[in-house]
Structure 1
């Protein structure tokens, strides 16, 4: 799924009014499995001037980037962290790790040839799903609109759950940025 969708799903599952630390942790946890990609790709694209085709066609699949991805996308490591949070009865840790695990649970079945080794350190095996959230050759034209629709519904749920202009402004921003990847990929690859 697109990162904004992960943020929306994580907030819908774990953010609660009157609990700002938990709500913030849920959003951070939903972002963390993708953060390394944004940092690595951003560095190459905007600082080093590496062509997008190299970043997403070569570096994304490189062993050096893979070493990072297997850590922040590991069900095993996030599961251990969740177990610690549960043992300590720490709601902030539970929200953070729960949102990260939810992120992985949606990524796992929605990446065809661009998945991650989700069961590291037990194995470096990467599941090649027959379905992709973006690749039209693997039902991306079906999954993408479903993702957008569910995100809009969850934004309505969050809108009803939270009041005040700051939370609602963030909900509107999250809903709007769910559409941003469509624009970004058109820019990066010269069209859908």
Structure 2
């Protein structure tokens, strides 16, 4: 799933169990697993000025970076820290790390050749799913459409529980941009191909 989608879907999933005060921790926890990837991309693109192809086909797969990505996507590590936070009475930490768990659970079924090691450091296993959230060769067009629909439903579900007008504005913006991106990336080329044919 795309990173912003995780935040909205997680807010909807947890809204039945958490207080509104937990919303920020849930949103941060939902995007935190991808943080090392964003840092790496910023460094590779804007400091090293590497071409996109080299960034994603070579540099991204370096063992050091992959270990950080695996750690931030580790389901067992996030569960253990969430249990520890709950034991210590740290509510914010509990929701943050549980949201990280749900980010990774959302990623498991929609990553093909870019699958993460979700059981690191206990295992280097990668679940190679037959579907991808982005790759058209692995049903990416369909999965991306389902993701946009999920974001819109999750926005409707969690919107009433978000007290902040900034938070509500961000949710609506993300939902709108997800639909625009889907049309631009997947639907527009189909229309152009139809016109050519």
The two structures have a TM-score, normalised by structure 1, of: 0.86
Residue 178 of structure 1, CA deviation:
2.9
- For residues 15-164 of structure 1, the aligned pairs below 5 Å read 18-19=20-21, 22-163=22-163
Deviation per CA, 1:69-121: give whole Å up to 9, x if none: 11111112111111112222432112101110000001111100001111111
User: Separation in 2 of the partners of 1:178 and 1:48?
Assistant: 29
Q: Which runs of 5+ in 1 are unaligned?
A: 187-192
CA contact (8 A) 1:29 1:97 kept: yes
* Higher RCO, 1 vs 2 (CA within 8 Å, ≥6 residues apart): 1
User: Separation in 2 of the partners of 1:181 and 1:119?
Assistant: 31
Aligned length: 184
1:80–1:48 Cα change, 3 Å = same
User: Separation in 2 of the partners of 1:181 and 1:115?
Assistant: 22
Match of 2:14 in 1: 14
CA contact (8 A) 1:44 1:55 kept: yes
Which structure is larger by alpha-carbon Rg, 1 or 2? 2
User: Separation in 1 of the partners of 2:182 and 2:105?
Assistant: 22
CA contact (8 A) 1:29 1:99 kept: yes
User: Separation in 2 of the partners of 1:62 and 1:132?
Assistant: 22
Q: Once superposed, what is the RMSD of the aligned Cα atoms?
A: 2.2
4+ long deviations beyond 6 Å: 183-186
Residue 159 of structure 1, CA deviation:
2.0
The two structures have a TM-score, normalised by structure 2, of: 0.84
1:180–1:98 Cα change, 3 Å = farther
User: Separation in 2 of the partners of 1:84 and 1:164?
Assistant: 29
